[in-house]
Amino acid sequence: MASRLAVIGDPIEHSKSPLLHGAAYEVLGLGWSYERIRVPRHRLNAFVNELDASWRGLSVTMPLKTEAHDVARWRDEASNLTGSTNTLVRSFPGSGSPEDFRGFNTDIAGIVNTLRMLQFSSLESATIVGSGATASSALVALSELGCPRASVVARDVARAHSLVDLGSRIGMSVSVYSLGDLATVPRSRVTVCSIPGSAGVDLSALERADDDLLFDIAYDVWPSANALEWTRSGGIVASGLSMLAAQALIQVRLFVLGDPHTPVDREAAVWRAMCSSVGLDETGRQALSVG
């Protein structure tokens, strides 16, 4: 029976997915392995073709989410909508065929569930910083929460226009701003930042009020300079670990049962163990220690 899993991307050393998945499979009594593997850009197809029958599936992080979309033989609606796939699951675990991977986007559910837990699920507008695959997932997640308008702040304004097109397909109005125009971006109750903290992007010029939320999805540097500054100015900050844990639970369902909607056995205990493994409380809201 297929029992190998991994998170792949580049860089990959920072990923806490092995902690989350390892905790889940320990509670479930499954002797599965889950590791980190560095796979550079443009190498995913070759990597998948080299996998043997022991592989059950893959979690996919940057910069491979678009390549994973192309690799998957079948894709869920969320993947097709965003062009971004972060989970590859063998249709028939234990088979030797590299062509039977199904593709899923669990990032959207991770963002939706986190914002609901934080009680930011009724929004008139939102701000998204970044224009890549995770930004696309954030836009769709906000749409699912009923948000009608979004401001997208991008380092590459031309690239961000794909989000305008996505917005028109899902019934959202999207305006694009450059990083140099932060002071002109309309205030939103929620700002979702998908740019890694290591990029050094300064968001201090964004207009905000007390209790507005910065959802800092990239957790490679934590607390990030933006998270610290946002907190000092009276705002609320959520770590990307909350989203990572929420979407990882959906991945566990997929790897164990093949269905993102069916809870696994003892799922409440699985969730508690996953949160504990990365320093979150049982609600998934507070980062107690992010290491």
pLDDT for residue 2:
74
Residues 233 and 168 in one domain: yes
Residues 165 and 226 in one domain: yes
Residues 218 and 230 in one domain: yes
Residue 221: closest CA among 235, 241, 245, 243: 241
Is 102 strand, coil or helix? strand
Is 290 domain-assigned? no
Please give the residue range of the domain that contains residue 73. Answer: 4-106+242-277
Is 26 domain-assigned? yes
Q: How many domains does the chain have?
A: 2
Is 147 strand, coil or helix? coil
Distance CA(27)–CA(272), nearest Å, equals 10
What one-letter code names the amino acid at 43?
Answer: R
Residues in the chain: 291
Residues 100 and 131 in one domain: no
Residues 126 and 156 in one domain: yes
In this prediction the pTM is 0.91
Residues 194 and 255 in one domain: no
Residues 185 and 212 in one domain: yes
Residues 119 and 218 in one domain: yes
Tens-of-pLDDT digits for all 291 residues of the chain?
679 999 999 999 989 999 999 999 999 999 999 999 999 999 999 999 999 999 999 999 999 999 999 999 999 999 999 999 999 999 876 665 556 899 999 999 999 999 998 899 889 999 999 999 899 999 999 999 999 999 999 988 998 999 999 999 999 999 999 999 999 999 999 999 998 777 789 999 999 999 999 999 877 777 889 999 999 999 999 988 999 999 999 999 999 999 999 999 999 999 999 999 999 987 776 653 333
Residues 188 and 252 in one domain: no
CB 118 within 8 A of CB 91: no
Residues 11 and 73 in one domain: yes
DSSP strand pairing (149-154 vs 173-178): parallel
Residues 90 and 123 in one domain: no
Residues 144 and 201 in one domain: yes
Distance CA(184)–CA(34), nearest Å, equals 45
CATH of the domain at 101: 3.40.50.10860
Task: Give the CA count within 13 Å in the CB-facing half-sphere of 199.
Answer: 16
- Strand order across the 101-104 sheet: 33-38, 4-9, 55-60, 87-90, 101-104, 74-75
